[in-house]
Amino acid sequence: MNLDFSQIVPYIPFILEGIGATLKFVSISIVMGFVLGTLLALCKITKLPFLKGFAVFYTSMFRGTPLILQLMIIYFAVPQLTGYDITAFLSAVLAFGLNSAAYISEIIRGGIQAVDRGQTEAAEALGVPYKPMMLNIILPQAFKNILPAMMNEFITLTKESALVSTIGYLDLMRRAQVVGSDIYRSFEPLIFVALIYWVMVYLLTVAGSLVERRLRQSD
Amino acid sequence: MIKADKITKVFGKNTVLEEISTTVHQGEVVTVIGPSGSGKSTFLRCLNLLEVPTSGEIFMNNNEITSSKVNKLEIRKNIGMVFQHFHLFPHMTVLENVIYAPQKVKGLDKSTAVESAKKLLAKVGLTDKEDSYPNHLSGGQKQRVAIARALAMEPEIMLFDEPTSALDPEMVKEVLDVIKDLAKTGITMVIVTHEMNFAKEVADRVLFLDQGKLVEEGKPTDFFQNPQSSRAKDFLDKVL
């Protein structure tokens, strides 16, 4: 046993800054995935064949290829085509947001379809147009049912975010590697960020249960 | 006034309604009875276009509403509907259920909507429940909220699709009483029901459907005491 946590002490501020770096792109990706995923889910349940086809194809592409490959394509391959020098941050947001939208759309589609058909009929019978019907009646009920699955997706996204270390984005994971190569020790920095990831996910879980409890008010 | 002219509804290979024609006049209360699967509910759902007839036309105040040019939502603003299984919005309180459509669809401001919702809830005897959620109410209470919710749009016509069929027996009366009171106010109503005594008592006219056809119609006293068709006789023998 050759452990010396005191060696990473000078690097702690450097590592902690990684929390912000990780949270920044993860939170934007979550919002993006959520909004896009909702729209894709609505496309999947329409009767319009073009929109439906697009949404199904989109999901199939993003679920059918590795996330790290999508990240690489956006960061390394797209600039080659377009000449636009994309930042690591933007690549990360795009890859994770677009990818997560595919998964979220499936969760939301299931949630919408699980809402009693009578709810749509009741709204239609009252003359409620499609948009307010979805926003005020169907989606709130769907979200309540899918919240656990949604939390799972957010947790996965938070952890998988470590993949951005491969394109040089200075997130938590990357910082642990930098410190490791600086002090020729891997165990201490890696264990330290492992703990940070675990705490972040734990807090996310707590937040999820709070929201869930609030939504169960009407039961 | 709502008029059905030879409406037919086909689901796949099943002809559920076959050339049904009838006119419900303003202020008239019509009850629709018949065995299960006779097409009563489908007929009712055609009237507010929840089901679009395969052929035939429906006119409301002499305007054809089955034409593809017509905006269904506009039509439905004037036709209230009460469902067998209530279909209240479970994530909204009783009061929110009632004011939702007047606010969103008619564009009433909140205080006006709340004021008339409270009057309606008083009318159906649920003043003390306005802040409850539907899941905390009994079946009879839910159905009375559903009636208030439909009335809040101030429709010309009310449709009732077996409003007491999903209720425990002891709650049937409270709902029927509300509907009877409503009948006295002169609003046009079409009621699909299995409650024969109620159908007789409340109706100006009874329609008897069997196997998708309008077999017989008439005044309740005539129909119940002296049905003309053998199918209506058979049916009444079984249920009365």
Segment A166-218, tens digit of pLDDT: 998 999 999 999 999 999 988 999 999 999 999 999 999 999 999 888 888 77
pLDDT given at position B163: 94
Average pLDDT over residues A114-134: 95
The alpha carbon of residue A63 and the mean position of all alpha carbons in its chain are separated, in whole angstroms, by 13
Q: Chains A and B: how many Cβ contacts under 8 Å?
A: 69
pLDDT averaged over every residue in chain B: 94
Do A218 and B104 count as a contact with CB atoms less than 8 A apart?
no
Q: Is the pLDDT of residue B41 over 90?
A: yes
pLDDT given at position A172: 92
**pLDDT-derived band at A155, boundaries 50, 70, 90:** very high
| Residues in chain A closer than 8 A to B100 (CB atoms) | 126, 128, 136
| Residues in chain B closer than 8 A to A126 (CB atoms) | 76-77, 80, 100-101, 105, 149-150, 153
pLDDT given at position B181: 93
Q: Tokens for B29?
A: 């209360």
Average pLDDT over residues B192-219: 94
CA angle B35, B39, B40 (to 5 degrees): 75
Q: Is the pLDDT of residue A37 over 80?
A: yes
pLDDT given at position A207: 92
The per-residue pLDDT for range B140-187, each reduced to its tens digit, is 999 999 999 999 999 999 999 999 999 999 999 999 999 999 999 989
Do A217 and B88 count as a contact with CB atoms less than 8 A apart?
no
Do A125 and B91 count as a contact with CB atoms less than 8 A apart?
no
- B85 to chain A: nearest residue by CA? A118
Q: Tokens for A21?
A: 């770096």
Query: Any chain B CB within 8 A of the CB of A212?
Result: no
**pLDDT-derived band at A3, boundaries 50, 70, 90:** confident
pLDDT given at position B176: 94
**pLDDT-derived band at A36, boundaries 50, 70, 90:** very high
Q: Report whether B9 contacts B57 (CB < 8 A).
A: no
In angstroms, the Cα distances linking B198 to B30, B68, B192, B203 are 11, 37, 11, 8
Minimal Cβ distance to B87: which of A118, A144, A217: A118
Do A137 and B89 count as a contact with CB atoms less than 8 A apart?
yes
Do B104 and A132 count as a contact with CB atoms less than 8 A apart?
yes
Dihedral sign, Cα of residue A12, residue A161, residue A149, residue B94: positive
**pLDDT-derived band at A104, boundaries 50, 70, 90:** very high
d(Cα A132, Cα A119) in Å, to the nearest integer?
13
CA angle A77, A78, A84 (to 5 degrees): 125
This complex has an ipTM of 0.91
Query: Any chain B CB within 8 A of the CB of A64?
Result: no
Interface of B with A (CB under 8 A): 48, 50, 72-77, 79-81, 83, 85, 87-93, 100-101, 104-105, 133-135, 149-150, 153
pLDDT given at position A60: 97
Query: Any chain B CB within 8 A of the CB of A130?
Result: no
Dihedral sign, Cα of residue B231, residue B233, residue B234, residue B235: positive
Q: How far is A92 from chain B (nearest CA, A)?
A: 37
Interface test with B, best of A116, A119, A124, A126 (most B CBs within 10 A): A126
Q: Which residues contact A157 (CB under 8 A, 6 or more apart)?
A: A26, A29, A30, A33, A96, A100
CB atoms within 10 A of CB A103: 20
Task: List alpha helices for chain B, DSSP H.
Answer: 40-47, 72-77, 94-104, 110-123, 139-151, 169-184, 196-202, 220-225, 230-239
pLDDT given at position A212: 87
pLDDT given at position B239: 86
CA angle B182, B129, B79 (to 5 degrees): 35
- A137 to chain B: nearest residue by CA? B89
Do B50 and A219 count as a contact with CB atoms less than 8 A apart?
no
d(Cα B68, Cα A110) in Å, to the nearest integer?
31
What percentage of chain B reaches a pLDDT higher than 70?
Answer: 100
Q: Tokens for B201?
A: 């008592």
pLDDT given at position A219: 74
Q: Is the pLDDT of residue B50 over 80?
A: yes
Do B91 and A127 count as a contact with CB atoms less than 8 A apart?
no
Do B104 and A140 count as a contact with CB atoms less than 8 A apart?
no
Do B76 and A219 count as a contact with CB atoms less than 8 A apart?
no
Q: Tokens for B79?
A: 């036709």
Minimal Cβ distance to B135: which of A122, A127, A218: A218
d(Cα A123, Cα A132) in Å, to the nearest integer?
9
Nearest residue to A205 via CA among A150, A161, A162, A166:
A150
Do A121 and B83 count as a contact with CB atoms less than 8 A apart?
yes
Minimal Cβ distance to A119: which of B76, B79, B87: B87
Q: In what order do the strands lie in the sheet with B14-24?
A: B14-24, B2-11, B55-60, B63-64
- B135 to chain A: nearest residue by CA? A219
Average pLDDT over residues B47-75: 92
**pLDDT-derived band at B68, boundaries 50, 70, 90:** confident
Query: Three-state secondary structure along chain A?
Result: CCCCHHHHHHHHHHHHHHHHHHHHHHHHHHHHHHHHHHHHHHHHCCCCHHHHHHHHHHHHHHHHCCHHHHHHHHHHHHHHHHCCCCCHHHHHHHHHHHHHHHHHHHHHHHHHHHCCHHHHHHHHHCCCCHHHHHHHHHHHHHHHHHHHHHHHHHHHHHHHHHHHHHHCCCCHHHHHHHHHHHHCCCHHHHHHHHHHHHHHHHHHHHHHHHHHHHHHHHC
Q: How far is A107 from chain B (nearest CA, A)?
A: 20
Q: How far is B208 from chain A (nearest CA, A)?
A: 25
Do A136 and B100 count as a contact with CB atoms less than 8 A apart?
yes
Minimal Cβ distance to B87: which of A122, A132, A219: A122
